[in-house]
């Protein structure tokens, strides 16, 4: 693994593993004090775990990549302060100190102030430090998502899934699912071990359909999606938070992931999809919006031209488009 793309993947994996360790050191989120969570309105909550994870990832990327790539991430020091989350800083520092004993509040603030306002041309890392924060808080699935874009195209993606089992080693300690463009998708145990290939399920017409759906009903029109897909075959829902849904499709644990916001004006954030899209595609799935158009990550911090998301093996992708009543363009 001596070329640049392989080195990028290695540093991304190392950064996500470090972030997962920082989150694990915080312990059970049910024990958090009220000061460990701030509400971002329609954007949901942010916790000490979100902030510590992002600080650790940025620190790892800067150490490996210097200033060669822009960073676009979900959380920011300014947001935390504006939302009255000042008491969070000492908690974040405590979590990060488990990996870097010398870190200070000023260091953490600087790490969380490095995000670029929009993706730059060339190399750009996108970070969702804790995707599915509500799932994390309730003890469900969440993901630590890191992707590298080159001219708006995802070329490296890593999903850290600390509460997902099945890496093949029997540890049950969580998994990493990762991909580099053109090299396939793979997984390994969160705490190390060998990498193994993963592949989307070879769905056939008439077969049962396992739909990876959102736990939060407000996130997607899951009920109407289930009803539409029932015209293709019997549907069972696998409800999980976060980009874990892409991981399930990539591993063959689910057949399809459909995202259709109840708010037709809503546009997805790029960090919510970049890593998962690449991993699913490298595992053999097709990912488009609901008009059968490729997702564009070169439009800013949101997928401005995308109307929803459809991720499935090719045969099911085509059938799902028809069942959902969307003409391919």
Q: Is 114 a catalytic residue?
A: no
Q: Is 100 a catalytic residue?
A: no
Give me 152's structure tokens: 């708006």
Nearest to 155 by CA among 281, 268, 252: 281
For residues 108 and 106, what is the distance between their CA atoms, to the nearest angstrom? Answer: 5
Reported residue count of the chain is: 329
Exactly one of 8, 50, 241, 272 is catalytic; name it: 50
Exactly one of 47, 114, 126, 133 is catalytic; name it: 133
The pair phi, psi for residue 153, each rounded to 5°, is -115, 125
For residues 262 and 217, what is the distance between their CA atoms, to the nearest angstrom? Answer: 9
* Contact by Cβ (8 Å): 295, 311: no
- Tokens 């399809």, residue located: 256
Residue spans of alpha helices (H) in 42-130: 48-65, 77-82, 88-96, 105-111
Give the residue numbers marked as catalytic.
50, 133
């Amino acid at each position: 693994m001596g070329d640049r793309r392989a080195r990028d993947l290695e540093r991304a994996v190392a950064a996500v593993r470090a972030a997962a360790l920082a989150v694990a050191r915080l312990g059970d989120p049910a024990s958090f004090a009220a000061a460990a969570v701030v509400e971002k309105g329609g954007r949901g909550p942010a916790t000490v775990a979100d902030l510590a994870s992002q600080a650790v990832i940025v620190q790892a990327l800067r150490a490996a990549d210097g200033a060669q790539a822009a960073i676009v991430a979900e959380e920011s020091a300014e947001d935390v302060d504006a939302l009255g989350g000042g008491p969070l800083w000492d908690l974040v520092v405590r979590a990060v100190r488990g990996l870097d004993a010398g870190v200070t509040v000023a260091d953490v603030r600087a790490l969380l102030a490095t995000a670029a306002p929009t993706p730059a041309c060339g190399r750009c890392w996108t970070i969702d430090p804790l995707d599915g924060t509500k799932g994390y808080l309730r003890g469900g699935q969440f993901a630590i998502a890191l992707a590298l874009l080159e001219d708006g195209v995802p070329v490296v993606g890593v999903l850290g899934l600390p509460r997902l089992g099945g890496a093949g080693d029997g540890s049950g300690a969580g998994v990493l699912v990762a991909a580099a463009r053109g090299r396939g998708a793979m997984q390994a145990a969160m705490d190390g071990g060998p990498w193994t290939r993963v592949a989307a399920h070879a769905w056939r017409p008439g077969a049962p359909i396992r739909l990876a759906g959102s736990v939060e009903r407000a996130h997607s029109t899951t009920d109407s999606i289930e009803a539409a897909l029932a015209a293709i075959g019997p549907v069972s829902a696998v409800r999980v938070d976060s980009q874990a849904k892409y991981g399930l499709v990539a591993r063959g644990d689910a057949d399809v992931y459909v995202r259709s916001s109840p708010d037709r004006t809503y546009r997805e954030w790029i960090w919510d999809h970049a890593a998962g899209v690449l991993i699913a595609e490298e595992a053999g799935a097709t990912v488009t919006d609901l008009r059968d158009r490729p997702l564009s990550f070169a439009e800013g911090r949101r997928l401005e031209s995308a109307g929803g998301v459809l991720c499935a093996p090719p045969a099911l992708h085509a059938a799902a488009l028809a069942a959902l009543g969307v003409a391919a363009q």
